[in-house]
Amino acid sequence: MNIKRIFAIVVRQFFLYKTNPMRLISIFLWPLISILQWGFVMRYLSILGEDTFSFTTVILGMVIMYEFMNRIMTGIMVSFLEDIWSRNFLNLFASPIKIEEYLCGLVSSSVIIGIVNFLIISIIVVLLFGINIFKAGVIMWSMLFNLFIFGISFGFFVSSMIFKFGPAAEWISWPLPALVSIISGVFYPISVLPKWLQYLSKIFPTTYVFECLRNVILGNFSKDYVLYNFNISFLLSVVFLIFNFLVFLKIYKDNLKFGAIVRFIAFE
C-alpha cells in the first residue's frame, strides 16, 4: 500500500470539514447531547431516590466508551457515504488508489476524530459531573483499544451493507449501533436481558468490555476476571475486523465484476 495515497484520503476528509464546519460541529454535538442527557438524568434519579450509590459515574463511564466506538464506526460510514452522496466514488477509483488504501484513509481520519471527540467529552464530564474515567487506568485503555478495533470492523460492516444494497441501505445502518448497545448491555448488566438474548450477546466483544468496565467501576473485579474479558473481547474484535474487511473487499470485487458499481453515480 502507498502511504501517500492513504494520507491524501485523510487530508481530503479534513478539507471537507474545513469547507463546511457544520459537519465538524455535528460530529461533536451528538455525543455531547448524549452525555449531558444521561448525566443529568442519572444525577436527578440519584437525588430523587436519596441513593448513596452514584449511578451517574457508572452510566456516564459506559456512555463515553460507547460513544467512542460509535464515532469510529459512523466516521467510516459517513466518510464512505460522502463519496456516494457527492457521486465521487467512481472518480476516486479512476485514479491509481487501491480499495485497501481508501479504507485505511477512512479509518485513519475516523480514528483522529474519535480520539479528539473522546478527550473533549471526557474533559466536559470532569468539569460538569466531577467524574474522571481515567482513574480506571490500564484497564480502561486496554478495553478502549478493543472498542477501537470493533468500531472499525462495525464501520466496515455497515459500509458493506450500503455497498451491497445501494445508498438506500443507509437508513438501516443508522439504528444498528443502538441495537448493539442494547444487546451488549451498555447501560445495564446483560443479566437483565432474556436468556436467549444473553446467549446472543456473548457473540459481541462489546458485551465483555462493558460488563468488565462496569464491575471495575463498582470495584467488583479481580485480575483474572479482567484478563479473561480482555482476551475474549480482543479475540472477537479481531475476528470481526478480519471478517468484515474481507466481506467489504468481496462486495467491491463483485460490484466491479458485474458492473453494479455504476449505480453509485446516481442516487437511489
Helix (H, G, I), strand (E, B) or coil at 93: coil
pTM (2 d.p.): 0.83
Tell me the per-residue pLDDT of 7-18, one tens digit each, with 9 for 90 and over.
888 888 777 777
The set of cell numbers assigned to 74 is 459512523
Residue pair 150/64 in contact (Cβ under 8 Å)? The answer is no
CA–CA distance from 64 to each of 38, 70, 126, 213 (Å)?
A: 11, 10, 12, 12
Tally of residues, the chain: 268
CA–CA distance from 48 to each of 34, 39, 53, 161 (Å)?
A: 21, 14, 12, 44
**pLDDT higher than threshold 50 for residue 268:** no
The set of cell numbers assigned to 264 is 453509485
In whole angstroms, what is the distance from residue 9 CA to residue 130 CA? 38
Tell me the per-residue pLDDT of 116-145, one tens digit each, with 9 for 90 and over.
888 888 888 888 777 777 666 788 888 889
Tell me the per-residue pLDDT of 80-118, one tens digit each, with 9 for 90 and over.
777 777 777 777 767 778 888 888 888 888 888 888 888
